[in-house]
Chains A and B, each alone.
Chain A
Amino acid sequence: RSCILVSIGGKNIMLDCGMHMGYNDDRRFPDFSYITQNGRLTDFLDCVIISHFHLDHCGALPFMSEMVGYDGPIYMTHPTKAICPILLEDFRKITVDKKGETNFFTSQMIKDCMKKVVPLNLHQTVQVDDELEIKAYYAGHVLGAAMVHIKVGSESVVYTGDYNMTPDRHLGAAWIDKCRPDILISESTYATTIRDSKRCRERDFLKKVHESIERGGKVLIPVFALGRAQELCILLETFWERMNLKAPIYFSTGLTEKANHYYKLFITWTNQKIRKTFVQRNMFEFKHIKAFDRSYADNPGPMVVFATPGMLHAGQSLQIFKKWAGNEKNMVIMPGYCVQGTIGHKILNGQRKLEMEGRSTLDVKLQVEYMSFSAHADAKGIMQLIRMAEPRNMLLVHGEAVKMEFLKGKIEQEFSIDCYMPANGETVTVTTNPSVPVDISLNLLKREMALGGPLPDPKKPRTMHGTLIMKENSLKLVSSEQALKELGLNEHQLRFTCRVQLQDPHSDTDTLHRIYTHLKSVLKGYTIQHLPDGTVMVESIVIKVSSSTEDPNTKVLLLSWSYQDEDLGSFLSTLLKKGLPSGLC
């Protein structure tokens, strides 16, 4: 389950709110106690952002917003907003109606949750409040999937969600500009894989379909209304045309309407070729693919049927499955993940006997094929994304740390950036170098320039002396005198005086000269002057010599220094207390 909390510039953001599909109890939900031990989350979160409609990214959203409690904005793209509630409702039905669970969100909760959604457009900056802004980028992967750029002041984070760097038949590849975020957060579940080509997957699919058809069998392909269904239809249509095949291909009408409806709405989210095709004709006007009627399922001979829902948990696809399951010539091809509790999940785990309603059992004799078409970024894809965005730090989530040292090393070496891999529950702190814009007073600037040295260079730091005034939202750098004047304060000077007694039989003038020589030899690199007014100056420290009234061989050295030279002053007094070396002249 994906659920990441980011604190940036004082703002708290939740990235995705997914469900863990492997657990049946509360472990399937993210642990919101990280945010607060009790009570609603509204005060602790500035916003929630959902990357795409897969349940491991949005499955826990209604639970979070309605059962734990959150009333702030939930951001997601338009297609995600349209598709999310459908999947959530499907999922709710399976969990509650089929499995009889109780601690789960209701249909009304899904509706209430979606009311809090604020839709996002691609590449449009949205101000969540006057400090926090977000922007969505195209992520590929599934319809409506987005990567999000989050910025507060001069600090920023990019969260990728699931993305894909290679285009497929109906979706483009992820893209982002050189936004240079402080952190790029990427999923790394597939970071250590090298993907088999799309061609080989398609070949496998066509081979299986062809083999079944050749032996007179029927092929059922349960699909969700969008995405893969279109790709597979295009593939089969082309194949049928070239191989001159005669067996009928059907898709259920519910599928067409929904698919066409969504594609019309979200045409900008598919790739260019699909858009060109769609503009010219209806997405589903295929020569070899016709609308399905439930009576066709009993027709003899080979056929291929695309039907919903995708996990065989209800509806038409389940009805057809029940009819065809008993014949080993037939085949069912599952093109995606199935949630636990569904028939799809059971047959993918090898179950050959299924318990149906009314205690009847169904023998599964047909061939079951699991094909994965979903696209995730592999190691190469992650490197490509880093090259595009140029982040200052990299954060990989959902991988096993032990299995990702190599990738971490690769990223650190190639890009010279730090790469973090926190485990669930771990907090990572990344130091950023925010630039703080400050206005400098003209006088101070002139004074600094007059001091000489190289001209100010934006790439080279320069130490200077001044006072920083923070007033309302502005930062001003002025000279100390100006600051004091503005504050109506008088400047005070701290001066230290110290008397050191010294035994020296020479005259005052000679003693002073001896002190001068001694200090010159010890304090190399310092400005030491022997002034005509009878003093020695070390930097700005003044040394005077006078004789004690009782004994002319006892000299009293008067050292005086200002606060700025405190260290040197203390050093001198300690040094002189030790007396003068005898070999001086």
Chain B
Amino acid sequence: VENLGEVSILKASSGFVSTNICLWLLNAVHQPGSHCVCLLLSRYKDLHVYQLEHPTQVIEWTSGKTVCVAGFTSSKNEILELRLPLKLFADENKGLCAERDFKVVHGGFTDAPVRCLRHIPGTRCVVTNDGLSSDLQVWDLGGDDSDVIRRTGSVDGSRGVSEGGSRIAARLSSQPQVLHGAESAGVRLTQLTSGQTVYTLETDSADPLSSLHFVSDAVFLAGCSNGKVYIADTRTSAAPQLSPPPPSSGESVLWWTDASAGPSCLDPSSCRIVRLSSCGQTVISDLRNPGGAVSRAQLDVQTRRCNADDVRVSWAPALDDCIAVSGFSGAVQIYSSSVWTTELQEAQPLFEHRGHAVSSQSDDGVPVFVTSHVWHPERPRTLLSAASDGSVHVWDWVDQSAAGC
């Protein structure tokens, strides 16, 4: 055994998981640098690690079992629809299912980077934006008769060229529609089949957007990078409500937003908004009182390098008060906001997925950053995360705390 390389034991030390022993094994076969993988048998119920040929910045559910990923190089890229391993879903007979691989069920090519990708619910359509202009590309994912994803059209953005590219949102509707925009002034709701704009958001200032979210069929949030959040209703032409940026927000501070999922909120005004800044400050507000703060926390994020494109903050769709944060480093952190108060205090993550940094395939010394993460819509603790080295992980974490989510 000694010829297979060094092996060492490390006791995990973060917060709730100190009782676990993690096992590190070095890859036995000669590789340029040594590779370590943290097995952490009891930290994860399920763990799957994949390597794409090119990194993705987008992970988007297209069904309960399939996701879309896409490349973002400046030239040719692939859009792939991947089916998650059957083993993940085989709850009763898990032991009898050996299938652990992703299946590429559909694939297509694009000549530009894919910076934003959104699935139109109820259709086999996805809409993408290349981050170079505010225009959108429309794709048909294909059905059973072909595995090729084809471009079927485009949607014009409100301006010719935009620095940040468009954000996109969609919800189930009888006529497929897409909400998009690069800035707050000019967010439009466009009918896909006719190309007609059925609603345009008008705001006093044109603030660059970091996200768009539907909280119900008609109400949506436009989260701006300067921390403002506009709350608008597509049924009226009345001015949108404005939630100003949280106090002590500096000039160069960037903000990202997420809204707790529409369908689970019977009353849109009871939805909550989380705002995360590039310094790690997190503010939770209620739509009933968008200007105020329900709770706050200072997250421990390393802000040395922060690529605005990579940062993601998201509410867990099937867990109460759980938030996932990624993009500041090679980890995805899960926080429980139920213990937060209105006082700004430091918060410790409930769980940290460090797999991307630890099993990094890049050996040129460049640190790995998580580029995207998503929660599974129904399985409470299942997430997918992607990193700058092309890795994609599917993980179901174990909540070790007594007062869990």
Contact = CB atoms under 8 A, between A and B. Distances in A.
A203 interface: yes
Contacts of B121: none
A195 interface: yes
A238 interface: yes
B207 interface: no
A280 B147 CA distance: 51
Interface stretch (A112-120, A401-409, A431-439, A531-539): A401-409
B70 to A, nearest CB: 13
Given A192-B105, A277-B3, A406 B100 contact: no
Interface string B308-347: 0000000000000000000000000000000000000000
A343 B384 CA distance: 37
A242 B149 CA distance: 48
Interface residues of A, number: 57
B390 to A, nearest CB: 10
A522 interface: no
B30 A272 contact: yes
A363 interface: no
A563 B388 CA distance: 72
Contact of B147 (A200, A273, A404): A404
Contact of B98 (A234, A238, A370): A370
B1 A238 contact: yes
A196 B96 contact: no
Interface residues of B, number: 48
Contact of A196 (B4, B9, B50, B53): B50
Contact of A206 (B39, B49, B149): B39
B380 interface: no
Contacts of A204: 100
A193 B148 CA distance: 15
A402 B3 contact: no
Which DSSP category, helix, strand, loop or mixed, fits chain A's interface? Answer: helix
A403 B147 contact: yes
Contacts of B4: 234, 238, 273, 277
Contacts of B85: 196
Interface string B21-65: 101010011100000010101000001111111000000000000
Interface string A393-406: 00000000011111
A380 B85 CA distance: 18
- Identify which of B9, B28, B85, B107 gathers the most chain A CB atoms within 10 Å of its CB: B28
A406 B108 contact: yes
A203 B50 contact: no
A237 B25 CA distance: 12
B199 interface: no
Contacts, number: 138
A244 to B, nearest CB: 10
Given A234-B1, A271-B29, A272-B30, A201 B100 contact: yes
Nearest to B37: A199
Nearest to B102: A194
A368 interface: yes
A550 B51 CA distance: 97
Nearest to B44: A203
Contacts of B218: none
A203 B100 contact: no
Contacts of B149: 406
A356 interface: no
A477 to B, nearest CB: 45
Interface string A234-274: 10011101110000000000000000000000000001110
Contacts of B3: 273, 276-277, 280
A416 interface: no
A241 B1 contact: yes
A207 interface: yes
Nearest to A384: B53
B146 A405 contact: yes
A361 interface: no
A40 B105 CA distance: 43
Interface of A: 167-169, 172, 190, 192-197, 199-204, 206-207, 210, 234, 237-239, 241-243, 271-273, 276-277, 280, 286-287, 348-350, 367-372, 378-380, 383, 402-407, 409-410, 413
Interface of B: 1, 3-4, 7, 9, 21, 23, 25, 28-30, 37, 39, 41, 47-53, 76, 78, 82, 85, 93, 95-109, 144-149, 359
7 contacts: A194-B102, A196-B49, A206-B39, A234-B4, A238-B1, A273-B3, A403-B147
| Smallest CB-CB A-B distances: 9 pairs | A406-B107, A196-B100, A372-B98, A197-B49, A194-B102, A199-B37, A193-B101, A370-B98, A369-B95
